[in-house]
Structure 1
Amino acid sequence: MGRPFAHRVKTQPLSAAQADRQGRVTRMAIARFGDAAAVTAFLNTHHGALGARPLDLAIASDEGLAAVEALMGSGAA
């Protein structure tokens, strides 16, 4: 039968700053979209204006978080 999880990619845990940015962008997306499916779709889908998935960009740096927040605040999200 094999080992179904044998090829699971190991990832590094988020740093405290990355976890904080992840929480901030998630809370803002919930406030902006309300619906869990819409929040998940926005955060996890490549966005052309950002050139990346919003969640990845927000977690990566303060500048990325600011770009995602600005996009959501502009109503263009």
Structure 2
Amino acid sequence: MTPDQDKSSITSASARTNPFRRNRNVTPLAPDDAQRQGAISALAFQLLGGRDAALDFLNTEDAILSGRPIAIATQSEDGYASVERELRARSLVRDAPNGG
């Protein structure tokens, strides 16, 4: 192997494994979708009492909603509304005396 070949194989290997390299195959969210995603995340954080509870709710498949709440809320206004209703219902149960 020549020094040039060795150098190019190191460069290509490091380019593939750089964790900070931008994934160019991912399409960014549309502005409306991004707004809904941010809003539902903030609401979950407020109503469920913090980051861990919010992330758990948003990223776990939900039988009532038929999917992951973060994906459902991001897709449409109707999806956002259904996730918001479920969040508020769970918040009321959590805040009720004796835990519901």
Band of TM-score, shorter chain: 0.7 to 0.9
In the alignment, the residues of structure 1 paired with residue 25 and residue 57 of structure 2 have an alpha-carbon distance, to the nearest angstrom, of: 25
Determine which of 37, 41, 46 is the counterpart of 1:31.
46
TM-score normalised per structure 2: 0.65
Aligned length: 75
Query: Which amino acid in the other structure matches residue 58 of structure 2?
Result: L
Flag the 1:11–1:66 CA change in 2: closer, same or farther, 3 A.
same
1:16 aligns with 2:42: no
Question: 1:63-74 alignment to 2 at 5 Å?
Answer: 63-74=78-89
Report which stretch shifted further, 67-76 or 15-24: 67-76
Query: Which amino acid in the other structure matches residue 51 of structure 1?
Result: S
Structure 1 vs Structure 2 CA RMSD: 2.2
Structure 2 residue matching 1:72: 3-state secondary structure: helix
Deviation at 1:12, TM superposition (A): 1.1
Unaligned segments of structure 1, at least 5 residues: none
TM-score normalised per structure 1: 0.83
Q: Which has the higher helix share?
A: 2
Structure number with the bigger relative contact order (C-alpha 8 A, sep ≥ 6) is 1
Deviation at 1:72, TM superposition (A): 0.8
Determine which of 26, 45, 49 is the counterpart of 2:64.
49
Identity of aligned residues (%): 31
Structure 1 residue matching 2:64: 3-state secondary structure: coil
